[in-house]
Amino acid sequence: MKTQELFDILQEHKDRTLLFEYKPNAFVGANYHITEVKHIAINSVDCGSQTDQWNETIIQLWESPTEIYKTKHMSVVKALGILKKVGQMKPYDLNAEVKFEYSNPNFHTAQLFVNDFMIQDNNLILKLAVEKTDCKAKSICGIVEDVKEVFDDEPCCSPDGNCC
């Protein structure tokens, strides 16, 4: 999701509460804060010696341990206020991919993509997901996309096996 798309969705649903689903049926706690917004410029070289560049907006979410008792999540209008203030200080690239950085004691720190959103009751739920790494230079590196299954009657882990 691009940064502008996120802002449009938030603007359209200002009267709702903002929840984040960081994995299926697991939500960022009501004690979350938006603690940092990063405007990242990436200049990369992949394994095929191809260069690329792009921008990302990374919004960090943090659960306050001193507010663990909270049961009401942040309102969309409050989140918009925070993000608007950031934009006045450091302008956004509205075409940049937006990600949310998050972790908790049971979930590793990750930059999560926004895969979708849904409205449930009075809540705007942003559905986040981890994106798998990938090789951008598959054709240059000779990596075949289609993996064919190989069948062999011999068990893999036998002394005469063909894989260990």
SS (H, E, C) 81-95: HHHHHHHHHCCCCCC
> Has residue 48 been placed in a domain?
yes
Span 61-109, pLDDT tens digits: 999 999 999 999 999 999 999 999 999 999 999 999 999 999 999 999 9
The total domain count for the chain is 1
> Has residue 99 been placed in a domain?
yes
- CA 14 to each of CA 8, 9, 56, 61: distance values in angstroms, whole numbers, following the listed order: 10, 9, 24, 19
> Has residue 157 been placed in a domain?
no
> Has residue 98 been placed in a domain?
yes
> Has residue 150 been placed in a domain?
no
Span 137-154, pLDDT tens digits: 888 877 777 655 555 555
Between residues 153 and 55, which one has the greater pLDDT? 55
> Has residue 67 been placed in a domain?
yes
Domain assignment of residue 100, given as a range? 3-135
